[in-house]
Amino acid sequence: MNDLRELPPTTWLRAIPISLVATLAIGIPSDLVDTPVFGRPVETRPIDYVILAVSASLIGLILAIRVPEGMGEKEENRTIWGGFVSFLAVGCPVCNQAVVALVGTSGALSWWAPVQPIVGLAAVGLLIWALRKRLATYRLEACPIPV
């Protein structure tokens, strides 16, 4: 937590629009952000909105922390995967064609839907891990060790 408090205010300001873009990128296709483009035959759950909000906030913060060129590539890959897993966690279970192809529509509702919150927690865990790694990389750049 101390590392987060030590971030400059500009980092927090950069995180806001990035988080909004992440919210839209995950929320629109999963129909958590209502648009006429996508529909959702299965009702949303409150946990879906929590996972979306936490994931988008973490994605925004991770990408807002500036690190030297080439040093944050692994964290960016983890962030992309965390966002993808978040999308799977909040998406409509019967709209996910891969899940329906593997287990059918009834399997998507009886098997995939109940594990989606666990997948969401895994996504948040992956994003927290990426944030910790990004903060460690940032600390090395912000406070270099004297030679």
**How is the chain classified by DSSP, letter by letter?**
-HHHHTS-HHHHHHHHHHHHHHHHHHHTTTTSS--SS---SS---HHHHHHHHHHHHHHHHHHHS---TTTSHHHHHHHHHHHHHHHHHHS-TTT-HHHHHHHHHHHIIIIIHHHHHHHHHHHHHHHHHHHHHHHHHHHHHHSPPP-
C-alpha 16/C-alpha 41 separation (Å) is 31
- Mean pLDDT, the chain, rounded, equals 86
Dihedral, CA of residue 124, residue 126, residue 130 and residue 135, to nearest 10: 50
pTM of the model: 0.84
Residues of the chain with pLDDT under 70: 1, 67-73, 75, 140-147
The domain spans of the chain are 2-142
Query: What pLDDT is stored for residue 92 in this prediction?
Result: 86
Whole-number Å distance between alpha carbons of 116 and 88: 7
pLDDT at 137: 78
Residue closest to 72 by CA, chosen among 141, 18, 122: 141
pLDDT for position 121: 95
pLDDT the model gives residue 7: 87
**Which pLDDT belongs to residue 55?**
96
Check: CB of residue 52 under 8 Å from CB of residue 22. Answer: no
pLDDT of residue 70: 59
Q: Which residues of 58-82 are buried (b: 16+ CB within 10 A; e: fewer)?
A: bbbbbbbbebeeeebeebeebbeeb
The reported pLDDT for the residue numbered 119 is 94
Please tell me the predicted confidence (pLDDT) of residue 69: 62
